[in-house]
């Protein structure tokens, strides 16, 4: 497994970088480029600092790009966007709410898992439902409760001029010097990130202009900055529905910038709806940008007490995978090779649930192991997976805390202590430690601490936005 820098290390490093005022001056068509790239820069720094990219062709290509685009040629060229919007925007029903899916994961075509319960609640209240769904190359359909359904293209990019690219290169040069790490071999990726986010922002702005909402609901905005940018530039309020883990040293919603500079260059959502009171407390205590009236506990619309193992003759081990920095495939493969016979002897069943972003890759890898059941997150809701789960293992995921709230024995790995909330999690060091944990749970020698990280769904929170 890759070494992962702790959140505190990364936060302190980036906060120091953000004292450099020149970072804020790099803009393209009024878009703050550092804000667009902040998440990607953080992930690349974590990934490559101890394992820098060594591909000579990649580095040489980056050097040629930098040399070519630093020349002040064709500076009058401007980006152009080709918008992909499925519905006619001339006859649009206006609505108080606009829902924006930022994920390809759907319960059925046209439904975002994280927004589904909100959409259904407002629909039953008689509110007009306008919904935006990125087209990830799959069937997308308008649902009966959608008054307006708009498809935007996540692969569409604006054309960056040579001047635009020069601005991005200059920013990356400043960031490289500030972090003492060479990001320039990755410059092509940053061009694409900026181009994609500007395109998505422009597409969403057109829909906002037509629908005239007061609130835009979305999730995972720290990875999709185009949503909050479109809201700020359109003068509407952005409501984020919690998706991932919120820890005190996450930099996603933190900065040392003043409120004035933050609003202009690092805009955050106006509201955050958390899954539970624990997350609200963490956000209010450590994320100084938010006050108590703008961080609200919404909860999760699931029966958190429901837990009945339908595979009673088997001991079910659920492994929820992540990818990128948090991939644990090699660890799991080593575990299966060493303990495969013991797993069978102890009547254990290993269920691997791929991350939605890597379903095909994980399915292909794990299908070669006959003792493993690969579970599709698109077909089986996580709540149903929990009902057949005796033990959960995951590197760093919200499912850890959903399992803890249900009293399911839960484990992660020592190297991820800095990117999880440690309370209630058993941390493992190696494959032998994992097997020991499994046998302890199976023999009734381990008692899981049950912590209410997750609250029950509170519809009164949603009703406040109607008033």
pLDDT exceeds cutoff 60 at 389: yes
- Band of pLDDT at residue 153, cut at 50, 70 and 90: confident
Average pLDDT over residues 245-252: 84
Tens-place pLDDT, residues 130-152: 988 877 655 556 777 888 888 88
Tens-place pLDDT, residues 394-410: 988 888 998 998 899 99
Average pLDDT over residues 307-330: 76
- Mean model confidence pLDDT for the chain: 84
Rg (CA), the chain: 23
More confident site: 27 or 7: 27
From CA 451, how far away is CA 404, in angstroms rounded? 6
From CA 90, how far away is CA 146, in angstroms rounded? 17
How do beta strands 237-241 and 215-219 pair?
parallel
- Band of pLDDT at residue 98, cut at 50, 70 and 90: very high
- Band of pLDDT at residue 55, cut at 50, 70 and 90: low
Question: What domains are there in the chain, each with its CATH number?
Answer: 7-80+156-297 (no CATH), 315-442 (3.40.50.2000)
For the chain, give the number of residues. 467
- pLDDT of the residue at 415: 81
Please report the sign of the dihedral spanned by the C-alpha atoms of residue 287, residue 102, residue 400, residue 437.
Answer: negative
- The first and second tokens of residue 408, run together, are 């399911």
Fill in the DSSP letter of residue 163.
Answer: H
CA 370 to chain centre: 31
Torsion angles phi and psi, residue 187, rounded to 5: -60, -35
Average pLDDT over residues 345-358: 87
From CA 204, how far away is CA 83, in angstroms rounded? 10
Residue 204 vs residues 99, 214, 224, 320: alpha-carbon distances, Å: 11, 14, 12, 32
E-assigned strand segments in 141-286: 148-152, 215-219, 237-241, 271-274
More confident site: 423 or 231: 231
- Band of pLDDT at residue 462, cut at 50, 70 and 90: very high
Find residue 133's DSSP bridge partners: 151
- Band of pLDDT at residue 380, cut at 50, 70 and 90: confident
Average pLDDT over residues 96-105: 83
pLDDT exceeds cutoff 90 at 295: yes
Tell which residue, 228, 224, 222, has the closest CA to residue 244: 222
- Band of pLDDT at residue 78, cut at 50, 70 and 90: very low
Find residue 150's DSSP bridge partners: 132
- pLDDT of the residue at 146: 82
Number of H helices, E strands in the chain: 15, 15
- Band of pLDDT at residue 71, cut at 50, 70 and 90: very low
- pLDDT of the residue at 299: 93
From CA 341, how far away is CA 209, in angstroms rounded? 61
- Band of pLDDT at residue 58, cut at 50, 70 and 90: low
Q: Do 241 and 298 touch, CB atoms closer than 8 A? A: yes
- pLDDT of the residue at 52: 63
From CA 378, how far away is CA 389, in angstroms rounded? 18
Average pLDDT over residues 154-177: 93
Residue 177 vs residues 168, 172, 257, 447: alpha-carbon distances, Å: 14, 8, 20, 49
- The first and second tokens of residue 327, run together, are 């991939």
Average pLDDT over residues 49-70: 53
Average pLDDT over residues 6-33: 88
- pLDDT of the residue at 107: 56
- Band of pLDDT at residue 274, cut at 50, 70 and 90: very high
Per DSSP, the three-state class of 412 is: strand
- The first and second tokens of residue 67, run together, are 């040399």
- Band of pLDDT at residue 127, cut at 50, 70 and 90: very high
- Band of pLDDT at residue 439, cut at 50, 70 and 90: very high
- pLDDT of the residue at 73: 35
- pLDDT of the residue at 157: 87
């Amino acid at each position: 497994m890759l070494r992962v820098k702790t959140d505190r290390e990364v936060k302190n490093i980036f906060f120091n970088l953000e004292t450099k005022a020149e970072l804020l001056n790099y803009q393209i068509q009024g878009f703050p480029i550092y804000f667009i790239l902040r998440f990607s820069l953080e992930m690349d720094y974590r990934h490559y600092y101890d394992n820098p990219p060594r591909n000579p062709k990649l580095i040489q290509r980056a050097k040629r790009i930098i040399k070519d685009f630093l020349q002040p040629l064709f500076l009058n060229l401007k980006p152009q966007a080709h918008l992909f919007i499925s519905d006619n925007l001339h006859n649009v029903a206006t609505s108080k709410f606009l829902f924006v899916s930022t994920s390809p994961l759907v319960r059925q075509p046209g439904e975002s898992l994280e927004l589904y319960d909100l959409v259904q609640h407002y629909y039953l209240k008689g509110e007009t439902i306008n919904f935006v769904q990125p087209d990830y190359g799959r069937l997308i359909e308008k649902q009966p409760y959608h008054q307006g359904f708009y498809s935007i293209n996540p692969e569409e990019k604006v054309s960056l001029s040579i001047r635009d690219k020069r601005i991005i290169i200059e920013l990356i040069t400043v960031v490289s010097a500030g972090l003492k790490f060479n990001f320039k071999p990755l410059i092509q990726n940053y061009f694409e990130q900026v181009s994609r986010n500007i395109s998505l922002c422009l597409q969403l702005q057109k829909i906002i202009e037509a629908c005239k909402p007061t609130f835009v609901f979305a999730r995972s905005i720290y990875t999709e900055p185009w949503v909050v940018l479109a809201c700020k530039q359109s003068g509407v309020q952005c409501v984020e529905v919690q998706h991932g883990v919120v820890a005190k040293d996450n930099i996603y919603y933190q900065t040392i910038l003043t409120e004035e500079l933050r609003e202009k260059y690092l805009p955050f959502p106006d509201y955050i709806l958390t899954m539970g009171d624990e997350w609200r407390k963490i956000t209010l205590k450590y994320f100084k940008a938010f006050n108590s009236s703008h961080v609200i506990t919404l909860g999760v619309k699931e029966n958190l007490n429901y837990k009945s193992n339908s595979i009673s003759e088997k001991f079910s081990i659920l492994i929820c995978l992540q990818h990128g920095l948090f991939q644990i495939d090699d660890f799991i493969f080593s575990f299966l090779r060493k303990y495969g016979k013991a797993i069978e002897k102890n009547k254990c069943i290993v269920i691997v649930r791929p991350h939605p972003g890597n379903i095909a890759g994980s399915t292909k890898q794990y299908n070669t192991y006959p003792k493993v059941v690969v579970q599709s997150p698109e077909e089986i809701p996580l709540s149903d997976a929990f009902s057949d789960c005796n033990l959960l293992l995951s590197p760093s995921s919200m499912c850890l805390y959903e399992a803890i709230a249900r009293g399911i024995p839960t484990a992660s790995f020592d190297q991820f202590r800095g990117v999880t909330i440690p309370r209630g999690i058993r941390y493992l060091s190696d494959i032998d430690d994992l097997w020991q944990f499994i046998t302890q749970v199976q023999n009734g020698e381990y008692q899981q601490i049950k912590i209410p990280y997750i609250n029950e769904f509170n519809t009164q929170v949603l009703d406040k936005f109607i008033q």
